[in-house]
């Protein structure tokens, strides 16, 4: 499985980084890749070839662009489904937030 991510600073692609990637089996919690370097491929994009993917496990992935990036642009998080498809966790978080915002919760006590 090829993991590809990009890093920006104020929305502009950042080159010359040495991002670190961590990959964890989402079912067992076993850390399979622990802060290994990613390879720059240009225009702010970086890659890591993850040869362990068995096509049946779920993985969570954290890419750390380093402390030279603004805090809100330093980390890229994603997951991999059993089919090997990379899913963008940040878009899932937006979906969850939208769903949660539509839930009415009363804080009033009944007497």
Q: What is the mean pLDDT of residues 32-56?
A: 90
pLDDT above 90 as % of the chain: 50
Domain-located, residue 74: yes
Domain-located, residue 47: yes
User: Higher model confidence: residue 45 or residue 93?
Assistant: 45
Mean pLDDT (the chain) is 81
| Domain membership of residue 12 as a residue range | 2-101
Domain-located, residue 33: yes
CA distance 105 to 31: 38
What's the confidence (pLDDT) of residue 54? 67
Lookup: tokens for 103: 């839930």
Domain-located, residue 57: yes
Model pTM above 0.85: no
- For the segment 48-69, what is each residue's pLDDT rounded down to a tens digit? 998 876 667 888 999 999 999 9
3-state secondary structure 43-67: CCEEEEECCCCCCCCCEEEEEECCC
CA distance 42 to 16: 9
Domain of 47, CATH number, reads: 2.60.40
Domain-located, residue 9: yes
Burial class (CB in 10 A: 0-12, 13-18, 19+), 7: buried
Domain-located, residue 110: no
CA distances from 75 to 105, 106, 110 (A): 32, 35, 45
User: Higher model confidence: residue 100 or residue 7?
Assistant: 7
CA distance 72 to 103: 27
pLDDT-derived band at 81 (thresholds 50, 70, 90) equals confident
Residue 73 has pLDDT above 60, yes or no: yes
Domain-located, residue 83: yes
Q: Which residues pair with 24 in a beta bridge?
A: 31, 60
pLDDT-derived band at 8 (thresholds 50, 70, 90) equals very high
Count of domains observed in the chain: 1
Q: What is the mean pLDDT of residues 100-111?
A: 54
């Amino acid at each position: 499985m090829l993991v590809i991510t990009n890093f920006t600073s104020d929305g502009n692609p950042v080159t010359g980084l040495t991002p670190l990637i961590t990959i964890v089996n989402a079912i067992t919690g076993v850390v399979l890749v622990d802060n290994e370097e990613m390879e720059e491929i240009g225009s702010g994009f970086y890659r890591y070839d993850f040869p362990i993917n068995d096509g049946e496990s779920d993985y969570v992935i954290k890419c750390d662009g380093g402390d030279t990036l603004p805090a809100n642009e330093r980390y890229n998080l994603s997951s991999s489904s059993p089919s090997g498809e990379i899913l963008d966790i940040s878009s899932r978080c937006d979906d969850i937030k939208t769903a949660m915002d539509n839930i009415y919760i009363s804080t009033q006590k009944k007497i």
